[in-house]
Amino acid sequence: MSTEPPARRADPVKRLGIRDIAARAAAAPIVALTAYTAPMARMLDSHCDLLLVGDSLGMVVYGFDSTLAVTLEMMIAHGAAVMRGAARACVIVDLPFGSYQESPAQAFRNAARVMAETGCTGVKLEGGAAMAETIAFLVARGIPVLGHVGLMPQSVHGHGGFRTQGRSADEAARILADALAVEQAGAFATVLEGVTEPLGRQVAEALAIPVIGIGASPACDGQILVTEDLLGLFGTFTPRFVRRYAELGGAVAKAAEEYAADVRARRFPGAKECVGIGKDG
């Protein structure tokens, strides 16, 4: 038997937990993006603190005109894929419309399925004061919850469209109260979407938990965007709050155009893409 010590293995990457998210927010803004697939998660993982498997996938991936038709099964399939791709980022999966609003027990049953079948760290759900009891119920039973207040896409019809929230004093006061209710209920952080900048700043200053903004304020403790928006891969509608860091949609169309021309002209496949002809055999 060898007396050699076993070779030292490289330390496995440690996944960030909800405590790390809060600690990081104290030092620098939290970097968050959406991810729906394993390859995208792999590309984003080392750059992000938090990856959200958002139900925006209904619009971005499935072509629905809202998030309302997204099912629990879709969220579980994409959540599991993202977990296979990301080793370091804290992965949170959205609970889709209709899977949690009925009762805290319904929310627990479905959130537990998401946690067990994906291996994610926690779930996100939309709603402020109206969802506080549900958030507290989940947190008390070991399920970390990321809140989501302000513009809530699952309430698009109630909001009268995807419009900025908090323009009137009443609306702003309600959103601040919602954010405080989510914090009080035990959420580890909250998303704040689509509000006026002064309100975004006010909410970020009022809450002790991290506030992750999207179309909110630079004063938030972190920022999140839909990855396909910043890559220029989702052309249907680009909200004002998106900054495009790449125009990959044009690159994809150009690659498809060149491929089509090569196939039609019999330039693809060539000798080096075939086996048994040419000098490489």
- Catalytic machinery residues: 193
Query: Please, what is the minimum distance in Å from the beta carbon of residue 153 to ligand KIV?
Result: 6
Query: Please, what is the minimum distance in Å from the beta carbon of residue 53 to ligand KIV?
Result: 8
Instruction: Please list the alpha-helical segments (H only) found in the chain.
Output: 18-27, 38-44, 57-60, 72-85, 104-118, 132-140, 156-159, 169-185, 197-206, 227-230, 248-264
Give the nearer residue to ligand KIV in terms of CB position, either 181 or 192. 192
Query: Please, what is the minimum distance in Å from the beta carbon of residue 203 to ligand KIV?
Result: 15
Give the nearer residue to ligand KIV in terms of CB position, either 130 or 274. 130
Report which residue type is found at 170: D
Torsion of CA 112, 119, 155, 104, to 10 degrees: 20
Which residues, at least 6 apart from 114, have a Cβ–Cβ distance to it below 8 Å? Answer: 72, 75, 76, 79, 93, 95, 120, 123
- Report d(CA 68, CA 212) in Å as an integer: 23
Q: Which residues bind ligand KIV (CB under 6 A)?
A: 34, 52, 54-56, 94, 148, 191, 193, 214, 224, 226
Residue 270 backbone dihedrals phi, psi, to 5 degrees: -100, 180
| Cβ-closest position to ligand KIV | 54
Torsion of CA 80, 82, 85, 87, to 10 degrees: -90
Helix 169-185 and helix 197-206: axis angle, to 10°?
Answer: 30
Query: Please, what is the minimum distance in Å from the beta carbon of residue 37 to ligand KIV?
Result: 14
Give the nearer residue to ligand KIV in terms of CB position, either 123 or 185. 123
Give the nearer residue to ligand KIV in terms of CB position, either 243 or 267. 243
